[in-house]
């Protein structure tokens, strides 16, 4: 039901995609990875001129507030554009592996036998031409989380973020920064993504792959799915101190599969090396065009999801030294994603409803995981109204908040299901092929690699009854200089 809802469609940036499962004759597990039938060849996809391109909202830091309910008037479609021109040069100077690692954010619960374990390191080129890639990553984070939420049984997910190719980073570390180690704190990852900025560029792919492999505390579970995604637009072969071939081989030796995303044509001079980055580590390769297009479709359900995700925040009960900051950051990331575009906000709302979203600073989650007893709490870190409660009153309060959250999450699940069905029908109507977007590239790669570990996904919604959509190439003539 569309009523007066403005339906804005934007395929922001043309995508040239080659999504190819890599192979090594000496690695039997790669034989289990089959290429997606519709992405085995390179496609030149024309650009549709965006219907509108409002500016994205201001970046909020934790503790800041807009002073208004930003979700009441969301921008219809965000402009997700970053011109990744092939520029930059190799700079001289001694470079060393990353050694300064920030303290890990806390992880909820311990890994128990039989639970799926997924570690994912995202390595992004933040040189001067990669704003579009960063914007795509902000939105892709929640799409990946929502897809992994379909895993049965629910996995333990940890995500790390590294950036490279930025002149603001240390030359001694090869212009690589470990922005956040492996953590289950998804709000912390979102915070770091929104804080990324571009600057200059010496893109040492081997260095960032080496840093992610050696400096992250990867799971020691032998059945864990350990994935590394590295994305950039310059030559992958610039690093003489840590050649990417050696780095990729070291990664797969450690059980880490490397997926490479090249921001350029799949047939240009740099593409072959980027393909090799993944091939040497049992990974997947994809090429996207310099604008890093993302599909954004407004739906009639976005405002309701925004209201629900705002209301669920009231069911979180802070505790511990990081409680105040954690609670503030939850609201901040709601606002940052809401200012970005409706789809990012909706994807985040759905992710907050999943088993993969848990907060170490929240008493409801902590009591559910039996990580703390009410009588052992340091009351000074609770809100004032809770400090005066007896243990019995506080326990009842926590229980009531958990029940309230469950009701809100049930509403989120119902609205999200309707949204997914509506989107599937709208994509069919608009003849949209979302397999040519960055989030789909990453989700397809992760699903294929999860299959090698026996990880299974449940179905989300039934397939639309209409005929399959044709390629997005029919949507509009190519626009030059887009």
The answer on 441 and 392 residing in a single domain is no
Residue 60 counted as domain residue: no
Residue 439 counted as domain residue: yes
Q: Are 182 and 216 in contact (CB under 8 A)?
A: yes
Residue 212 counted as domain residue: yes
pLDDT of residue 204: 94
pLDDT of residue 291: 60
What is the CATH classification number for the domain harbouring 94?
3.40.50.410
The answer on 307 and 165 residing in a single domain is no
The answer on 313 and 237 residing in a single domain is no
Q: What is the pTM of this model?
A: 0.76
**Residue found by looking up tokens 């090429």 in the block:** 287
pLDDT of residue 440: 86
pLDDT of residue 115: 76
Residue 206 counted as domain residue: yes
The answer on 413 and 290 residing in a single domain is no
The answer on 285 and 156 residing in a single domain is yes
56/336 Cα distance (integer angstroms): 9
The answer on 359 and 250 residing in a single domain is no
**Residue found by looking up tokens 């390191």 in the block:** 121
- Classify residue 274 as exposed, middle or buried by CB count within 10 Å of its CB (0-12, 13-18, 19+): buried
Of 18, 85, 40, the residue nearest 271 (C-alpha)? 18
The answer on 260 and 312 residing in a single domain is no
Q: Are 43 and 95 in contact (CB under 8 A)?
A: no
pLDDT of residue 27: 36
Residue 276 counted as domain residue: yes
60/55 Cα distance (integer angstroms): 15
281/24 Cα distance (integer angstroms): 8
Residue 59 counted as domain residue: no
The answer on 316 and 246 residing in a single domain is no
| Residue 60 exposure: Cα atoms within 13 Å on the Cβ side | 22
Biggest CA-to-CA distance, the chain: 69
The answer on 213 and 141 residing in a single domain is yes
pLDDT of residue 322: 93
Whether the upstream peptide bond of residue 153 has omega within 30° of 0, thus cis, is yes
How far CA 331 is from CA of 71, 228, 334, in Å, comes to 11, 29, 5
Residue 259 counted as domain residue: yes
Rounded to a whole number of angstroms, the CA Rg of the chain reads: 22
How many residues make up the chain in this entry? 482
Range of the structural domain that residue 351 is part of = 302-428
pLDDT of residue 388: 93
The answer on 340 and 267 residing in a single domain is no
Number of domains in the chain: 2
The answer on 355 and 241 residing in a single domain is no
Burial 297-307 (b: 16+ CB within 10 A, else e): bbbbbbbbbbb
Residue 143 counted as domain residue: yes
pLDDT of residue 44: 30
Full pLDDT tens readout for the chain, 482 residues: 333 333 344 333 333 333 333 333 333 333 333 333 332 223 232 223 333 333 344 455 554 433 333 333 333 322 222 222 222 222 223 333 343 433 333 443 344 445 789 999 999 999 988 888 899 899 899 999 999 999 988 999 999 999 999 998 988 889 999 999 999 999 999 999 999 999 987 899 999 999 999 999 999 999 999 999 999 999 999 988 999 999 999 999 999 999 999 988 888 999 999 999 999 999 999 987 656 467 889 999 999 999 999 999 999 999 999 999 999 999 999 999 999 999 999 999 999 999 999 999 999 999 998 999 999 999 999 999 999 999 999 999 999 999 999 999 999 999 999 999 999 999 899 988 776 678 888 999 999 999 999 999 987 654 444 443 333 322 232 222 22
The answer on 335 and 235 residing in a single domain is no
pLDDT of residue 104: 36
């Amino acid at each position: 039901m569309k009523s007066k809802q403005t339906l804005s469609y934007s395929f922001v940036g043309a995508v040239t995609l080659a999504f190819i499962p890599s192979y090594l004759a000496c690695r039997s597990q790669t034989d289990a990875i089959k290429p997606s039938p519709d992405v085995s060849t390179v496609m030149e996809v024309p650009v549709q001129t965006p219907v509108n391109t409002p500016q994205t909202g201001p970046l909020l830091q934790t503790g800041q507030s807009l002073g208004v309910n930003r979700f009441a008037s969301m921008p219809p479609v965000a402009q997700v554009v970053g011109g990744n021109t092939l520029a930059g040069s190799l700079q001289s100077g001694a470079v060393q592996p990353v050694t300064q690692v920030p303290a890990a954010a806390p992880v909820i619960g311990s890994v128990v036998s039989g639970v799926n374990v997924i570690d994912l390191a995202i390595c992004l080129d933040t040189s001067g031409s990669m704003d579009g890639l960063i914007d795509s990553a902000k939105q892709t984070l929640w799409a990946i989380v929502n897809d992994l939420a379909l895993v049965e049984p629910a996995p333990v997910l940890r995500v790390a973020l590294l950036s490279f190719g930025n002149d603001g980073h240390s030359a001694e570390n090869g212009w690589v920064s470990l922005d956040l180690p492996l953590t289950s704190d998804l709000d912390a990852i979102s915070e770091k993504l929104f804080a990324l900025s571009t600057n200059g560029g010496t893109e040492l792919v081997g260095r960032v792959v080496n840093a992610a492999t050696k400096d992250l505390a990867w799971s020691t579970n032998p059945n864990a799915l350990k994935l590394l995604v590295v994305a950039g637009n310059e030559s992958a072969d610039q690093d003489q101190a840590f050649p990417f071939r050696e780095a990729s081989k070291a990664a797969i030796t450690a059980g880490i599969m490397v997926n490479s995303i090249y921001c350029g044509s799949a047939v240009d001079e740099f593409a072959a090396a980027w393909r090799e980055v993944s091939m040497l580590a049992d990974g997947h390769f994809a090429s996207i065009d310099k604008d890093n297009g993302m599909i954004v479709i407004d739906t009639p359900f976005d405002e309701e999801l925004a209201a629900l995700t705002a209301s669920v925040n009231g069911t979180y009960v802070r505790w511990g030294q990081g409680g105040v900051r954690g609670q503030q950051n939850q609201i901040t990331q709601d606002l940052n994603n809401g200012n970005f575009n409706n789809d990012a906000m909706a994807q985040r709302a759905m992710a907050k409803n999943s088993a993969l979203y848990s907060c170490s600073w929240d008493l409801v989650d902590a009591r559910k995981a039996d990580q703390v007893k009410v009588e052992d709490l340091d009351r000074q870190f609770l809100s004032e109204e809770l400090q005066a409660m007896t243990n019995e009153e506080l326990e009842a309060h926590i229980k009531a908040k958990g029940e309230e959250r469950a009701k809100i999450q049930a509403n989120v699940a119902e609205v999200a299901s309707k949204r997914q069905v509506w989107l599937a029908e709208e994509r069919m109507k608009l003849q949209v092929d979302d397999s040519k977007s960055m989030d789909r590239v990453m989700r397809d790669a992760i699903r294929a690699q999860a299959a090698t570990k026996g990880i299974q996904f449940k179905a989300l919604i039934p397939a639309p009854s209409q005929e399959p959509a044709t390629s997005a190439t029919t949507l509009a003539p190519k626009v030059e200089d887009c």
